[in-house]
Structure 1
Amino acid sequence: MTKSEQERMNGKKKINNYYDYSLLFLTIFLSCFGMVMIYSTSSYTAQVKFSDPTYFLKKQLVSVILGVIAMLAVSKIDYRILMKKAGRIPFNLVTLAYLMAIILQTYVLFFGKEFNGAKRWISLGPFGTFQPSEFTKVVAIIFVSYIVNKLPRSLNRVSGFIRVMILASPLIFLIVIENLSTALVVSAIVVGICFVASRKKWYYFFFGFLFVGMVVAYIFLGDEFRSVRIDVWRNVETHPLGFQILQGLYAIASGGVFGTGLGESMQKLGFIPESHNDMIFSIICEELGLFGAIAVVLLFVLLIWRLFIISINAPDLFGGLICSGVLIHIAVQVIINVAVVTNSIPSTGIPLPFISYGGTSVAILLAEMGLALSVSNQIRSERI
C-alpha cells in the first residue's frame, strides 16, 4: 500500500502550497510579446537615431530580465513579512515603503530629469533613469491594503473611507503635481481597494460624482494644457495637435481583420512619434489586425481572471486586497490605454502593461506580479 493510499485510509489530509503557474506563464508571455512588438515598432526609429535597430529592444530586455528575477524572488517570500517591523526600526516594511515613495516623489519634483517637457525621472547615471511614480503605484497597493486590513469594518462608514483617503493623499497629491494621468491610476487603486473591502457601497457613487466634478473643474478652469486635449479629442480630424491620435486611427483602420503582417507597419515609419510607447496598441492593430488586438485583450482578461481567483482564495484579507489592487492597476491601465488609442477618451500618457516600452514600468510591474504570486504561494490546497 502506497503512502497516499495509507493517508486516504486513515482519513488524513495532505496539505500542499499552491502556486499559480498560469499567472506566471501569462505574465512572462505578455512581457516577451511586448519585446517582439517593441522591436517591430522601434527598429526604424532606433536605426535613424542611434544606428542600431535593436537599441530599445536591448534596454527593454535588461529591464525584463531584472523584473523576472525580482518577480520570482518576491513570489517565494511570504508577503506577510511586509507587516512585520524591520529590525530595530519602529516601522514595518509597509510604512518604510510609504515614506520612501513620498521622499522619491518629492525629490523628483525638484531634482528630476526632464524629457519632452515632463520632469518625472531620476537620473541613475550609467544605469539609466528611474521613474518614482511606478514605484508609488505598488506602494499605494500595499499601503492601502495594510490600512484596510487593520481596520476592515471602518470602511462601512464614510468616516473610515475618508480616513484612508487622508492617509493616502500625500502619494496622490505629489503625483498630481507631476502627472495627472498617473494620479488617476493611483486614485483608482486606492478607491478600488476600499470599494472591495467595504460592505456599504452607496457613498462611493457620491464621492465618484464629486471627484469627476473636481477633475472637470481642474481641467477647464485651472489647466489650459489639458483643456486643449479635450479640444483635440473632440476635433481630432481638424485640430493641428490631433496628428498622433489621427495617425493611430489610420493604423488601426489599415490593419483590417488579420493585419498587414508583423513588422510591415507603415505608420511606425515616423508617422506616429515614438510608436513603441503609449501608442503601441495601434501598431498591434495594424500589423496583427483585429484578430491580434482581440487576442491581446483576451490575454489581459485571462491575467485579470487569475488575479481574481487568487484574491478570493487568499489566506487572509491582506493578501486578498493586495491581489485586488494589482488587478485594479492592470485593468485600469489597459482600459485607459486602449481607450486613448481608439480616441474613445482624451489623450493621456498611460502605457500598456508589459507591452509598452519603459524599463522602470515593466521591471516594477513584474515585481508587483511577484506579490500576487507570493499570495498564491500561501494558499493551502487540501487533498484527501
Structure 2
Amino acid sequence: MEQGKRRRTKNYYDYSLLFLIIFLVCFGLVMIYSTSSYNAAKYYDDSTKFLRRQMLFAIAGIPIMIIVSKIDYRIYIKRLPIIKIRPITLLFFLCILLQTVVLIFGEATGGSQRWISLGGLGKFQPSELTKICVVLFTAYIVQLAPRRLDNFFGFVRVVAFVGPLLALVVVENFSTALIIAAIMVSICFVASRKKGYFVIAGILFIVAGSFLVFGVSYRGERVEVWRNVETHPKGYQILQGLYAIASGGLFGKGLGNSMQKLGFIPEAHNDMIFSVICEELGMFGAIAVIMLFLLLIWRLFTIAINAPDLYGGLIATGVLTHIAVQVLINVAVVTNSIPATGIPLPFISYGGSSLVVLLVEMGLVLSVSNKIEHER
C-alpha cells in the first residue's frame, strides 16, 4: 500500500482555546468579586450580588458555547428546508428590529438608550447580538463574491449591506459602532487581493467618525475631558483609575486590597476593572492579562489561516478583530490614552449580555476549528 493511502485524517478541536476562554471567564469572576464586594455589601447588603449574577451568565454561556462549537458553522448560510430562508438572513432582520425597538422604547442608562428591559430577568443590549450578526453576515456577503473586493466599489457593496445595522447602532452607541465597523473592514481586508483602496476607505471613515464625535455635544465633551483630565469636573473616574494604576507598582497591593475600588472608582467592576487589576496585581498582573489576550488572539489567528473554507476563515477573522479592538480600546481608555468610552474588557468586566455573546462567538470559532482536518 502506498504511503499516501495509509494517511488518515481526523477533525481538529482547539482545546487550548477552550481552556484559555474558561480561564479568562474564571479570572473575570474573581476580579468582579474583588472589585464589587465592598459596594455590593454597602448598597445591597449582599457582597456576592454581582458575582452571583455574572456566574449565572457564565454557567449558562459556557454550555451554549460548547453546543455552538459542535454545530457546523456553514448551516447559518444554508436555506431552511420549509421557509427557504437562510438563518443569517433571519438574524440580520431580527437585529434590525431590535436596534429599532431599543431606539424607540429602550431603557436609558448613563445618558444613552441602549437597553431593552426583560423584566425580572434583567436587561439586554441588542448591540451585543448585532456583533455576532455582523461577523456572520459580512463573512457571508464577502464569500459569495470575494473577487469583487479587489476594487473599491466591491467594498462599497458590502458597506451598503451592513450599513443599516451600523447606522442604527451609531445613533446611541458610537464605541460599539466603531467595533462593528472594524469587524466589517477587517473581513473585507482579508478577503481582498488589492489593499490600496483601503487607505481611501480609512480616510472616509475617519472623517465620518470625526463628524459623529464632534457633532454630538456629549461626545465632544469627552475629548475635552481627555485633554484636561486633571482639571475637568468629569475627569474624576479616569483620574481615580490612573491613581489605581500608579499605586499598584510592580507586584500590586495584593488581591482584594485595592483602595480605589472603595467608592473612588464608580462601578469599578465594569469598564474600569483593568485599573483595579493594575492596583491589586501590579504591572506583573497587568502584563500577564495582556499576554493571555495575545495568546487568545494568536489561537484565533491560527484557526483563521487554517480554516477549511473562506467562510470559516472570515468568521474567525471577525471574532479576532472584535476581541483585539475591544481589549485595545478598554486598556487605552483606562490608561487615558484615548477619550473615555463605554467598552468592557472581554470576559473580565461585569456584564451578562457581553459575556454570553463573547462565548457564542468563541463557539463559532471552535466550530470552525472542529472542521480543520489534520493527519493522525
Q: What TM bracket, shorter-length normalisation? A: over 0.9
**Matching of residue 189 in structure 1 with residue 183 in structure 2:** yes
Moved over 3 A (4+): 7-11
Pairing partner for 1:230 from 213, 223, 229: 223
Equivalent AA in structure 1 for residue 302 of structure 2: I
Task: Quote how far apart the aligned CAs of 1:10 are.
Answer: 8.4
Q: CA deviation at 1:91?
A: 1.5
- SS state at 2:233 partner: coil
TM-score normalised per structure 1: 0.96
Unmatched tracts of structure 1, length 5 or more: 1-6
Q: Pick one of 368, 373, 376 that aligns with 1:380.
A: 373
Q: Residue in 2 aligned with 1:32?
A: 26
SS at match of 2:108: strand
Q: In 2, Cα distance between the equivalents of 1:214 and 1:286?
A: 37
Q: 2:319 aligns with which of 323, 326, 343?
A: 326
SS in 1 for 2:234: coil
Q: Would you say 1:89 and 2:83 are equivalent positions?
A: yes
Q: What is the deviation of 1:224?
A: 1.1
Q: How far apart in 2 are the matches of 1:354 and 1:8?
A: 49
- Paired residues, what number? 376
Deviation for aligned residue 1:8:
8.6
Task: Give the whole-Å Cα distance in 1 for the aligned partners of 2:81 and 2:47.
Answer: 48
Partner of 1:3: none
* Residue of structure 2 equivalent to 1:111: 105
Which among 51, 62, 68 is matched to residue 57 of structure 1? 51
Q: Percent identity?
A: 62
2:134 counterpart residue number: 140
How many Å apart are 1:129 and its aligned residue? Answer: 1.4
> What's 1:156 paired with?
150
For residues 2 and 109 of structure 2, what CA distance do their matches in structure 1 show? 64
1:67 is matched with 61
Q: Name 1:272's counterpart in structure 2.
A: 265
What is the distance in 1 between the residues matched to 2:329 and 2:4?
A: 55
State the SS of the aligned residue for 1:164: helix
Cα gap change, 1:127/1:8 in structure 2, threshold over 3 Å: closer, same or farther? farther
1:309 paired residue number: 302
Cα distance in 1, alignment partners of residues 90 and 212 from structure 2: 32
Work out the CA distance in 2 between the residues paired with 1:136 and 1:219: 21
1:352 pairs with 2:317: no
Q: CA deviation at 1:117?
A: 2.2
Task: Quote the offset at 1:116 in angstroms.
Answer: 2.5
Q: Hey, what does 1:173 align to over in structure 2?
A: 167
Using the alignment, how far apart are the partners of 1:300 and 1:235 within structure 2?
31
Distance 2:362 2:85 in 1: 25
Distance 1:167 1:10, change over 3 A: closer
Counterpart position of 2:210:
216
Question: Could you report, residue by residue, the CA deviation over 1:309-347 in whole angstroms, capped at 9, with x for unpaired residues?
Answer: 001000000000000000000000000000000000000
Unaligned runs of 5+ in 2: none
1:86 positional shift: 2.0
Q: Per-residue CA shift, 1:79-105, capped at 9, x if unaligned?
A: 011111123223201111111111111
Superposition map of 1:243-258 within 5 A: 243-258=236-251
Report how far residue 9 of structure 1 moved. Answer: 7.0
Give, as a single letter, the amino acid of the residue that structure 1 aligns with 2:50: F
Per-residue deviation at 1:348? 0.6
Corresponding residue SS for 1:338: helix
Alignment partners' CA distance in 1, 2:121 and 2:61: 15
Question: Residue 39 of structure 1 aligns to a residue in which SS?
Answer: helix
CA distance in 2, matches of 1:66, 1:247: 34
Displacement after TM superposition at 1:109 (Å) = 0.9
- Offset from partner CA, 1:37-65 (integer Å, 9 cap, x none): 00000001111111000000000001111
The aligned amino acid for 2:328 is: I
- Partner of residue 4, structure 1: none
* Post-superposition offset of 1:178: 2.0
Q: Distance in 2 between matches of 1:130 and 1:225?
A: 24
Q: 2:275 corresponds to which letter in structure 1?
A: S
